[in-house]
């Protein structure tokens, strides 16, 4: 770990410690009286702690360790998703296929840097295989809905999340050996956007942006949070191969995708009649509650970086971005 990266993590941990102390003081002032606002803020701070520790472990264990870590994240996320959408005995073979075929193979393609199969395995072969396996059970009840739910679970929990460790495979001229910083940028900006949207919403938000899906999100909170996180992305350009303007554009794109992803995941939870995806973190929901925004932001971010920066190819070269 270079000195500048060490200072970066020291700064992140300093901010997290300060935020945790402030949240604890706010709880103490309430003398044990429950408060949804403070509890929600604490949950978001805890999410930052978890993701920061995951990224720190990625630094220590390198590329292989990072892939293994996110394999475990995908496993936990897939378990939570399938626990909500599938409960029929007829789906047993399909669930086995998800956990013991699709999940390990997808991460094997990441490990071996087989981009072709990594990019098409689940959305093509996986999506064809799952309904075939479901048909072998001979249960036609709600067949289309069952197949679609399980496909969607694999898409979100495995395919989308696998794009995060896949960032370690990119070969960017002049950025060799620093790919884990691409992960830091993605996680920091998207998670900051989530927290800042909440903070801006509590400070200034009145008009709900999508009350049926996410009652806590407001127009002011969404605009303020995304704008603030976009500025943060521009400020973090120095840990990336981007210049400040490019970092801001990419930051804006992944913040918008994170926001939209959060809405989709909230819609799924409400459809299933639950508040959280799970209870992996006692009182603060499950793994998917912590990474829902990243699920949608990661594939977009990965392909932007791969197309415009890897090997100096793509439209970036045409516009003189290198």
Over range 46-59, report the average pLDDT: 73
Please, which pLDDT band fits residue 318 given cuts at 50, 70 and 90? very low
**CA–CA gap between residue 310 and residue 169 (Å, rounded):** 10
Instruction: For Cα atoms 238, 242, 248, give the angle at the middle one, nearest 5 degrees.
Output: 90
Over range 211-230, report the average pLDDT: 84
If we measure between CA atoms, which residue out of 96, 39, 105 comes closest to residue 71? Answer: 105
Q: Give tens-digit pLDDT for 283-292.
A: 556 788 888 8
Prediction pTM value: 0.85
pLDDT value at 268 more than 90: no
Over range 49-66, report the average pLDDT: 77
Residue 21 or 150, more confident: 150
pLDDT value at 317 more than 50: no
Over range 102-127, report the average pLDDT: 96
pLDDT at 119: 96
On whether the CB atoms of residues 163 and 302 are closer than 8 A, the answer is yes
Percent of the chain with pLDDT over 90: 44
pLDDT at 270: 85
Mean pLDDT of the chain: 84
pLDDT value at 246 more than 90: yes
pLDDT value at 312 more than 70: no
Give bridge partners of residue 208 from the DSSP assignment.
Answer: 218
Percent of the chain with pLDDT over 70: 86
Q: Give tens-digit pLDDT for 172-209.
A: 988 888 888 899 899 889 988 888 887 788 777 678 87
pLDDT value at 125 more than 90: yes
Over range 213-234, report the average pLDDT: 87
Over range 92-108, report the average pLDDT: 95
- In Å, how far are 4, 119, 193, 299 from 253, measured between CA atoms? 26, 21, 11, 11
pLDDT value at 121 more than 70: yes
Over range 70-97, report the average pLDDT: 89
**CA–CA gap between residue 153 and residue 276 (Å, rounded):** 15
Residue 178, burial from CB neighbour count under 10 angstroms (0-12, 13-18, 19+) = middle
pLDDT at 280: 63
Candidate ranges 176-185, 247-256, 266-275; pick with highest mean pLDDT: 247-256
Please, which pLDDT band fits residue 322 given cuts at 50, 70 and 90? very low
pLDDT at 243: 94
pLDDT at 277: 75
pLDDT at 30: 66
């Amino acid at each position: 770990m270079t000195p500048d990266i060490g200072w970066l993590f020291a700064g992140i941990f300093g901010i997290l410690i300060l935020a945790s102390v402030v949240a604890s003081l706010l709880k103490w002032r309430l003398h044990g009286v429950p408060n949804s606002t403070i509890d929600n803020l604490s949950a978001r701070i805890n999410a930052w702690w978890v993701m920061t520790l995951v990224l720190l472990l990625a630094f220590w264990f390198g590329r292989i360790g990072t892939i293994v870590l996110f394999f475990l994240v995908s496993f936990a996320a897939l378990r939570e998703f399938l626990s909500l959408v599938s409960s029929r005995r007829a789906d047993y073979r399909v669930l086995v296929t998800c956990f013991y075929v699709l999940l390990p193979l997808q991460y094997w393609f990441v490990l071996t840097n087989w981009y072709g199969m990594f990019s098409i395995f689940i959305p093509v072969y996986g999506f064809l295989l799952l309904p075939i396996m479901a048909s072998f059970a001979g249960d036609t009840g709600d067949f289309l809905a069952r197949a679609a739910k399980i496909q969607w679970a694999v898409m979100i929990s495995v395919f989308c999340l696998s794009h995060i460790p896949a960032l370690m495979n990119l070969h960017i001229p002049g950025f060799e050996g620093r790919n884990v910083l691409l992960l830091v940028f993605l996680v920091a900006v998207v998670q900051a956007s989530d927290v800042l949207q909440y903070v801006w919403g509590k400070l200034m938000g009145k008009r709900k942006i999508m009350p049926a899906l996410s009652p806590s999100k407001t127009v002011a909170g969404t605009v303020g949070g995304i704008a603030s996180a976009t500025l943060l992305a521009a400020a973090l350009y120095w840990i990336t191969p981007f210049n400040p303007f490019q970092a801001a554009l990419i930051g804006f794109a992944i913040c918008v995708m994170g926001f939209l992803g959060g809405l989709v995941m909230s819609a799924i939870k409400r459809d299933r009649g639950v508040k959280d995806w799970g209870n992996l973190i006692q009182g603060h929901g499950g793994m998917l509650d912590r990474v829902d925004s990243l699920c949608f932001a990661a594939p977009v971010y990965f392909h932007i970086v791969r197309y415009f920066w890897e090997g100096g190819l793509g439209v970036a070269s045409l516009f003189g971005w290198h």
